[in-house]
Amino acid sequence: MFKYLLLLVLLLPSSLAGCETISTTMENPDIMIFDGVTDRVTLQDSDYYTLPDGFTIKLWAYIDSTQPQAYAYIVAKYDHDSTEWEFAFAKWTGTPLNFWLRDDTALKVIGRSDANGFTSFQNQWTHFVLTYDGGITSNSLRIYANGIRVDDVDFYNEANFVSIRNTTAKLRLGARDSAVNQRFKGKISMFKITSDIWYAKDALTSYFKEKSYFE
């Protein structure tokens, strides 16, 4: 299968190719800051971001403990305004960090959670790897933090999920959609999405390769 690879090297806002909306500031040439209120980065919709046969998302995130909202979307291809949903990685009410996918035709969701992820990784840089292997159950998704698998409970595991669908939802960092009440407060760096499916060894290798930048 032809491997699509998108790598966003976060340099300066004006250099983020394919960005439709950039409303954030830069701490330095590699780190974006999100205030949890208005900040977000929106990329133009592309078929390259819809990968039903499996994909991996990798990023470094600094999750601020003072999230102003009960829900905080870190990465999402999810437009609640038009009900076109594909995937998201977000903090929900309480302490979970959830990674989930939706079949926008069957209206079914599968996902996994780190039940205490918000409190475990707040106020520190964390290397996250989110993987989906193309399957139809929640066991097809995995969450790695600093090279270690941390998902410990199903978020959703609805029957009749078939596949994520190619929608017009835009890929965003720091927000779900135009709604201002579910923004992420913190920092994001070294974001990447690829059709390669990573496993534990790949997540750990990536973590050790990059961690010196955040120490």
Q: Mind listing the pLDDT tens digit for each residue in 194-213?
A: 999 999 999 999 999 999 99
Sign of torsion over alpha carbons 130, 131, 134, 138 = negative
Check residue 168 and give its pLDDT. Answer: 87
Taking 50 as the pLDDT cut, the residues of the chain under it are 1-20
Residue with tokens 């004006």, as numbered in its chain: 14
Tell me the C-alpha distance between 68 and 109, whole Å: 26
Question: Does the domain formed by 5-214 have CATH 2.60.120.200?
Answer: yes
Helices (H), the chain: 117-120, 200-210
Check residue 22 and give its pLDDT. Answer: 52
Check residue 143 and give its pLDDT. Answer: 98
Contacts 24+ apart (CB under 8 A), 100-103: 100/141, 100/155, 100/156, 101/132, 101/141, 101/161, 101/164, 102/78, 102/164, 103/160, 103/161, 103/162, 103/163, 103/164, 103/165
Residue-range domain boundaries for the chain? 5-214
